[in-house]
Structure 1
Amino acid sequence: MAGSLLSLFTAVLFYFGWASTDAETRALGLRDTVFHLSTSDYLLRSVDALFLPAWLGTAAAFAAMGVHRLVRRGAPGTAPMLRLGRHAWVVAFLLLPLYPLTPTAFDLAIPLLTITGFLFTAYARTRPADMTAAGAPSVRAHHVRVWALALLISVLSLFWAVSTYAGIVGRGRAEQTARTVRTGLPAVVVFSEKDLLIRGGGSCRFRVPIKDSAYSYRYAGLRLFHIAGDRVFVVPREWSPQQGTLFELKQSESLRIEYVSGGNEQTDECSSG
């Protein structure tokens, strides 16, 4: 059981990392395949954005444990609650006609309500009043079928919810990146043996005046976009999703890349000095 939960958790992390990255790169006018991301990259990109859902999920689990204790003690009001809970799965379906009004909101609300509704329905329908009858093989088999169906629907709905939330996070990241390319991304200076044909968007190219230098050209006015293995992706400081070029550089002996501390605050980074 623990192994299955761990596998499901890892699958959710990977899927969220991929879906959020896909939404982010699409919003930036790119695709995630450009950056040669690995499985670990997708997993790491999912961690920070899942803190809030993890806290909410933990709170919901503790709330469910509290409700279960009340039901076991036969607290007043639990019997009517269980009777209503047998039909909790209906709530999500009642919202479907409202979906066209605000698709983004309901894309998240409907799968979450589906998960809650079906799990609560399964719980309510497998709490028999007669505990003697609860041990009968036919009753146990019925309970297994109810929980299997509820868990299957919940897992499918979970990936639906994760996909929607990942899209929201990814598009938010893209908006943040597009808004802060000049000041939010690290400044980069590239020295090259040959002309790399990096032009426009606030970038600048200079010939290196030092005699016998291993490098003939210096490029400034660039920002670090992403690093994947020996590939470095840079953009001009005035880059935007609507108009701009992403440059992919492969690290080698003929290329030197400098990451300039505070470079994105400089106004004279394209000076020839």
Structure 2
Amino acid sequence: MELLGTIGSLVSLLAAVLFYFGWASTDAETRALGLRDSIFRLSTSEYLLRSVEALFLPAFLAVGALLAAIGLQRWVTSSPGRAETAVRRMRWGWLPPVALAPFYVLHPALFELVLPLVAIPGLLAAAYALTRPAQPAASDTAQRRLRLNIWALALVLCLLSLFWAVSSYAGIVGRGRAEEAARAVNTPAFPSVVVFSEKDLMIRGGGACYQRVKAENSAYAFRYSGLRLFYVSGDRVYLVDRKWRPSQGTLWVVRESDSVRVEYVSGPLGREPEC
């Protein structure tokens, strides 16, 4: 039962990290584009899905670091003298992040990620070294209480450092996505869109254009082109014009219904006659 409880706690922590990363990266991306993530009304599952791809590299690096730590631990414990020397040094594991803190002002974006990543292994190493059974104490009860207090403090600080690192990395990923989006408006990454509507949707400006539908017996009276697909959430379609830029441009929100039809045009030929 204890194993199942531990697995459940780890799964819950992983889900919380994934959701937080999805939200934080989306928030950084939309802010870089002059928007807010609340505009898109994303669901929990959408936040989780947006976090998966960007976390592959950190996950591989974390597994690699864990394997390296296991190998290092076996090498150290193979010699009693070597182990004692390592433990004495590990007690100062909290010192590297403290030493790096004054350099934060030199490059905040870099040290916001470096500091928590250095702090997590340093705090765990210090907690391990300070709570070894060989440590002198007044009594067994007092020693156990001291160990629990040290580990509790270390784990809380590591958890805060983890979310700090996730937030910093999410900001980097989100701003990178925003830059890519700004460059990709007129590439296949942003499909061309044509909207038909019974009523005038007042989509004007930039590279967007509209015209009245002259075909007889048509269910729609207006046609809008020169648009690019920005995002889809439920029945809401988020569109920008072909000349859109984060510094100047409009985001249109169209809800698909019986009175509004949205067509997605693929390939360069579909973009040429759009206006």
TM bracket, shorter-chain basis? over 0.9
Q: 1:143 pairs with 137, 147, 153, which one?
A: 147
Q: TM-score, normalised by structure 2?
A: 0.92
Cα distance change, pair 79–118 in 1 and its aligned pair in 2 (3 A): same
Alpha-carbon separation, structure 2, partners of 1:67 and 1:26: 42
Letter in 2 for 1:175: E
Which of 100, 108, 116 is equivalent to 2:113? 108
On the 8 A contact 1:187/1:263 being kept in 2, the answer is no
Structure 2 unaligned residues grouped into runs of 5+:
1-5
Alpha carbons 1:88, 1:120 under 8 Å: kept = yes
Q: Which stretches in structure 1 are left out of the alignment for 5+ residues?
A: none
2:207 corresponds to 1:211 = no
How big is each residue's C-alpha offset from its partner over 1:228-262, in whole Å with a ceiling of 9 and x where there is no partner? 11111111011111111110011110111011111
Identity %: 57
- 1:23 corresponds to which residue? 28
- CA-to-partner distance for each residue in 1:124-143, whole Å, 9 max, x for gaps? 2233448xx9x944433332
Offset, 1:68? 2.8
State whether residues 29 and 175 of structure 2, in contact with CA within 8 Å, keep that contact through their aligned partners in structure 1.
yes
Matches within 5 A, 1:1-273: 1-74=6-79, 77-129=82-134, 136-183=140-187, 184-263=189-268, 266-270=271-275
What do you get for the CA RMSD once the two structures are aligned?
1.9
CA distance, structure 2, for counterparts of residue 173 and residue 264 of structure 1: 27
1:117, distance to aligned residue in structure 2 (A): 0.7
Q: CA deviation at 1:69?
A: 2.4
Q: What is the rounded CA distance, in whole Å, between the counterparts of 1:265 and 1:189 in structure 2?
A: 10
Do 1:118 and 1:150's aligned partners in 2 also have CA atoms closer than 8 Å? yes
Superposed displacement of residue 123, structure 1? 1.6
CA distance in structure 2 between the aligned counterparts of 1:50 and 1:73, rounded to whole angstroms: 35
Structure 1 residue 212: Cα displacement: 1.1
- The more displaced of 257-266 and 49-58 is 257-266
Aligned residues: 268
Q: Tell me how far 1:42 sits from its aligned partner.
A: 0.6
Secondary structure, aligned partner of 1:241? coil
Q: 1:65 to 1:140 in 2, by over 3 A?
A: farther
Aligned partners of 2:226 and 2:241 also within 8 Å: yes
Aligned to 2:3: none
With over 3 angstroms needed to count, the CA separation of the structure-2 counterparts of 1:128 and 1:63, relative to structure 1, is farther
Q: TM-score normalised to the size of structure 1?
A: 0.92
Flag the 1:263–1:256 CA change in 2: closer, same or farther, 3 A.
Answer: farther
Partner-residue secondary structure (3-state), 1:100? helix
In structure 2, do the counterparts of structure 1 residues 161 and 123 end up closer, same or farther at CA, with 3 Å as the change threshold? same
Secondary structure class of the residue paired with 2:226: strand
The residue type equivalent to 1:14 in the other structure is F
